[in-house]
Amino acid sequence: MSNLRLFNPDNIIENTTGLLSKEHTHYVVNVMRLKRGSNLNFFNKEGEWLSEIISIERDKVEVKFLNKVKEPSKISNIELAICLVKKTPMEIILQKATELGVRKITPIISDRTEIKDLNFERANKIIIEATEQSNQLNTPDLSQIIKLKDFINNISKDEKLFFADVNSKHKLSSKDLGQGKKASVLIGPEGDFSPEERDLILSKAETVPFTLSENILRADTAVISAISLVNFIHNNH
């Protein structure tokens, strides 16, 4: 059985000790019921470290960081731009996009977006938990909410915008990937983009419209399908 993995954003130094956060303490003591001498791993973008519990009380856990067991991993060049949806599917999207290894998640407001806000504290918690569970080191950045027009206008010439377009018949292939270019996957709202927004998206030279399915997909299903497809093509390019 593998050790419990916990995210620690702080700088970790071998053969030093540290106290767990209140949240981690509760999880270790009351949920996992670990004991003194138990091992657990801490990670961040700099790597992963084996540690040992050297003192444990109801409201305080002290660990010793023993040795580094994993070096930093390559950061994905795939980003997700997702129009905000209702709470439950949005949480699924955050979780699955993280598990699939995106480097950044950008929440977007479009003309037909019904949801205008996001609980960032809850969202970041979901991202961290998904990173812990999926054995990764890098937690994706979660951007502030941005309007679609501003997002499109910020697309640079050194990236590709893969637009999951319900009107497209184009099937994505390795020919669509630019060598070494950053890839952003754009998923629209439940009511799709307005005609004016579609014109704006397609006006960018960097845009590659593509089809996911002949069926109409829910936003969370579309995210999983699109990122998996771009990941597969990118990894086999």
Give me the tens of pLDDT residue by residue for the chain, a chain 237 residues long.
689 999 999 999 999 999 999 999 999 999 999 999 999 999 999 999 999 999 999 999 999 999 999 999 888 889 999 999 999 999 999 999 999 999 999 999 999 999 999 999 999 999 999 999 999 999 999 999 999 999 999 998 888 999 999 889 999 888 887 765 789 999 999 889 999 999 999 999 889 999 998 888 899 999 999 999 998 887 766
Contact 230, 106 (CB under 8 A): no
CA 127 – CA 17 distance, rounded (Å):
26
Q: Do residues 101 and 127 share a domain?
A: yes
If one counts every other C-beta atom within 10 angstroms of the C-beta of residue 37, the result is: 9
Q: Do residues 59 and 100 share a domain?
A: no
Q: Do residues 48 and 88 share a domain?
A: no
If one counts every other C-beta atom within 10 angstroms of the C-beta of residue 230, the result is: 26
Q: Do residues 50 and 98 share a domain?
A: no
Domain end position, chosen among 49, 70, 91: 70
Q: Do residues 65 and 85 share a domain?
A: no
Q: CA angle, 225 as apex, 223 and 227 as ends, to 5°?
A: 65
Instruction: Taking each helix axis as running N to C, give the angle between helix 87-99 and helix 219-235, from 0 to 180 degrees, rounded to the nearest 10.
Output: 10
The pTM for the full model equals 0.91
Q: Do residues 30 and 65 share a domain?
A: yes
- The answer for 74, left when phi > 0, alpha when psi is -120 to 50, beta otherwise, is beta
Q: Do residues 120 and 63 share a domain?
A: no
Q: Do residues 133 and 103 share a domain?
A: yes
Q: Do residues 116 and 64 share a domain?
A: no
Task: Residue 88: give the domain boundaries.
Answer: 78-235
Looking at residue 208, which CATH number applies to its domain? 3.40.1280.10
190-212: per-residue pLDDT in tens?
Answer: 889 999 999 999 999 889 999 99
* Residue spans of alpha helices (H) in the chain: 22-26, 87-99, 120-133, 148-153, 195-203, 219-235
CA 215 – CA 198 distance, rounded (Å):
19
Q: Do residues 96 and 170 share a domain?
A: yes
Domain end position, chosen among 54, 70, 86: 70
Q: Which residues does 91 contact at the CB level (< 8 Å), separation at least 6?
A: 122, 123, 126
Q: Do residues 113 and 177 share a domain?
A: yes
Q: Do residues 156 and 191 share a domain?
A: yes
Q: What's the total number of domains in the chain?
A: 2
Contact 80, 223 (CB under 8 A): yes
Domain end position, chosen among 70, 98, 125: 70
Looking at residue 66, which CATH number applies to its domain? 2.40.240.20
